[in-house]
Structure formats: structure tokens, C-alpha cells
């Protein structure tokens, strides 16, 4: 049974990926942007695939500017549960 945190603050389990495609209308600071096959993306940082905008406290450093796909993400939803399960077997070592 996966326990869903009461808040996303300090979790960040779903903020891990190899790359995440940005959508038209997303306005992400340039320092967090990359390119994959000609598309604007955010690239996860090795070795933990952390989003470059996830700060040391595991909060989103660009919360008000986060991409649309992050805004749509639902705490307790299927993707959240999948991320929390992955974090159990591959926890983030740093804060
Ligand atoms: S949506 Fe789920 S996995 Fe993502 S930060 Fe919130 S509680 Fe953690
Ligand atoms: S932009 Fe913010 S909410 Fe989206 S994956 Fe990165 S840290 Fe998480």
C-alpha cells in the first residue's frame, strides 16, 4: 500500500524523468530548458533524473511557471502512485 503525502511540499517523487517535453505556452526559464530531437524539453539531471527545477528541499523552484503537464498532475492520481512506488525502490539520496 502506497502512502500518499498530504502535500507535495518536500516530496518531488514525480519530478524525475529523462526528459519532459514542453508544450506551446510553457514559459520555463531558459536555464532549465534543453532540446531533444528538435523539441524544447526539460532534461533530468543524473544520477537521479531529477528535474533541474527541483530544489534541494524537493520543492519546485519555478512553481508559478511550471509546465502545463506539471500543473495537470494530480496528487494521489495514477502517475503520482507510480512515482511514489518508483521512489520506494529508487529513493532520492539527496534532500
Ligand atoms: S504528485 Fe504525488 S509524487 Fe508528485 S510531489 Fe505530489 S505527492 Fe509527490
Ligand atoms: S517543473 Fe517543477 S513541478 Fe515540474 S517536474 Fe520540475 S520541479 Fe516538478
Q: Which ligand is nearest to the CA of 10?
A: 1
* Binding-site residues, ligand 1, Cβ < 6 A: 4-5, 8, 11-14, 73, 75, 80, 83-84
pTM of the model: 0.93
Domain of residue 56 covers: 19-89
pLDDT one-digit tens code per residue, 28-60: 999 999 999 999 999 999 999 999 999 999 999
Q: How many structural domains compose the chain?
A: 1
How far away, in angstroms, is 51 Cα from ligand 2 center?
A: 6
- Asked if the structure places residue 72 within a domain, the reply is yes
Determine which residue's CA is closest to atom 1 belonging to ligand 1.
Answer: 75
* Residues shown for the chain: 95
| Residue 77 lies inside a defined structural domain of this protein | yes
Q: Is residue 3 part of a domain?
A: no
Sign of CA dihedral 68, 74, 78, 80: positive
Above pLDDT 90, what percent of the chain?
A: 93
Instruction: Extract the C-alpha cell encoding 15.
Output: 519530478
Amino acid at each position: 500500500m502506497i502512502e500518499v503525502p498530504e502535500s507535495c511540499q518536500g516530496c518531488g517523487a514525480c519530478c524525475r524523468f529523462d526528459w519532459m517535453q514542453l508544450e506551446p505556452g510553457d514559459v520555463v526559464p531558459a536555464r532549465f530548458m534543453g532540446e531533444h530531437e528538435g523539441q524544447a524539453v526539460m532534461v533530468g539531471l543524473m544520477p537521479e533524473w531529477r528535474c533541474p527545477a527541483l530544489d534541494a528541499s524537493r520543492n519546485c523552484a519555478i512553481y508559478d511557471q511550471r509546465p502545463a503537464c506539471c500543473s495537470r498532475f494530480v496528487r494521489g492520481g495514477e502517475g503520482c502512485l507510480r512515482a511514489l512506488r518508483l521512489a520506494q525502490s529508487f529513493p532520492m539520496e539527496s534532500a
